[in-house]
Structure 1
Amino acid sequence: MKQAKLLTQAEQKRLTAIINSHRYSARNHAIFAFSFLAGLRACEIASLRVGDVFDETGKVRNTIYLKAGQTKGSEGNTVLVSKRLTIALCLFAAQYPQHIISPNAALFFSAKRGGFSPQTIVNLFARFYALANIRGASSHSGRRQFLTELADKGISVRVVQALARHKDISTTMNYIDFNENKLRSAIELI
């Protein structure tokens, strides 16, 4: 199975610059943040409602509860919201304050104000990766980057599995990238 590409730091900077230069940059940054900072899949991002992410006062929730119909495995799950993701969501809310007052509305919307489908999210990722001249990246790249970075920082694979919302640890292991530099660094710890 071909893995989604992990982005280099230079590619991440190019992607950020491209997102900044386009209309709806706060919305697009929030979409990418859900992938890179919480490991959400395109279908999960598309399924988010305003009330899932923001409370009745407009404050970002620190935990998002995904219902069974919002997930790939059709089982409810919990997504923890990091400080960096909270910042991206606050910027989104500041840009679209009128949008976040409707708890049942789709969180992410098109220019025509319709909610995004999973395919629309996939297309948005593909469009921005192409504009940033990043080949091999897909809507799953952020999720894979999220899981690999956690593992690289020494987080237990069981914790990474829980954050990935995987039933089987072998699935999580398939996401985590390793290369010769990481292997060499590992043996130097002994």
Structure 2
Amino acid sequence: MKQARVLTETEFKRLLAVVAQMKHAGRNRLALMLSHLAGLRVGEIAALTVRDVVDGDGKVREQLRLRAEITKGGHARTVFLNERLRREIERYRTDWPEGGNDDAPLLMTQKRTAFSPNTLCQLMAQLYRLAGLDGATSHSGRRWFITKLAHSGVSPKVIMTLAGHRNLTTTQRYIDVRDDMMKAAVDLL
């Protein structure tokens, strides 16, 4: 089975530039950022509510708790939101509905309803296609997240836990290796 393409930094910037020119740019950018910067699956992103990312005082959370019913393995997990992702969420808040309900979906379709995982998957595929990124799918961000952590020297156990995997071999299948990475590795010697 062919895996989703992992974007280079240049390709990721190009993707964001293409998204910035589109209708619903803020929503689409946040969906991609949740995938790339938190490693969330498309179904997890689609299921997020405002309450999941903003606390009772209106502050963007530093971590969110994914409920068991929205995760692939059926196990709740904590997702840590780095400063860059928290800024993205804060930036997107200007697009939230007036008098927004805390239980409202974080990302809404143009019909103001929650995304289904399938519809969000199709949207992401369209965004990658418009940016000319053949082979990229809604899983590309998750693979990017795991690969980036692995190549930054993060412990495999930590990466496995952040990804919500139960088995290290599953996590290892997500890690992309390219020639430039191998060259950088041997240049360390």
TM-score using structure 1 length: 0.94
The aligned residue for residue 65 of structure 1 is 65
The SS at the match of 1:123 is helix
Cα drift, residue 24 of structure 1:
1.5
The aligned residue for residue 7 of structure 1 is 7
The aligned residue for residue 136 of structure 1 is 135
Question: May I ask how many residue pairs the two structures share in their alignment?
Answer: 189
The aligned residue for residue 112 of structure 1 is 111
Once the two structures are aligned, what percentage of the paired residues are identical? 42
The SS at the match of 1:65 is strand
Q: What is the root-mean-square deviation in Å for CA atoms of aligned residues?
A: 1.4
The aligned residue for residue 163 of structure 1 is 162
The aligned residue for residue 80 of structure 1 is 80
Q: Structure 1 residues 87 and 97 mapped into 2: Cα distance closer, same or farther (>3 Å)? A: farther
The aligned residue for residue 48 of structure 1 is 48
The aligned residue for residue 183 of structure 1 is 182
2:10 counterpart letter in structure 1: A
The SS at the match of 1:146 is helix
Higher mean displacement: 51-60 or 124-133: 51-60
TM-score using structure 2 length: 0.94
Unaligned runs of at least 5 residues, structure 2: none
Cα drift, residue 94 of structure 1:
2.3
State how far apart, in whole Å, the 1-side matches of 2:15 and 2:136 are: 11
State how far apart, in whole Å, the 2-side matches of 1:98 and 1:55 are: 17
The aligned residue for residue 153 of structure 1 is 152
Unaligned runs of at least 5 residues, structure 1: none
State how far apart, in whole Å, the 2-side matches of 1:65 and 1:51 are: 10
The SS at the match of 1:64 is strand
Q: Structure 1 residues 106 and 95 mapped into 2: Cα distance closer, same or farther (>3 Å)? A: closer
The SS at the match of 1:178 is coil
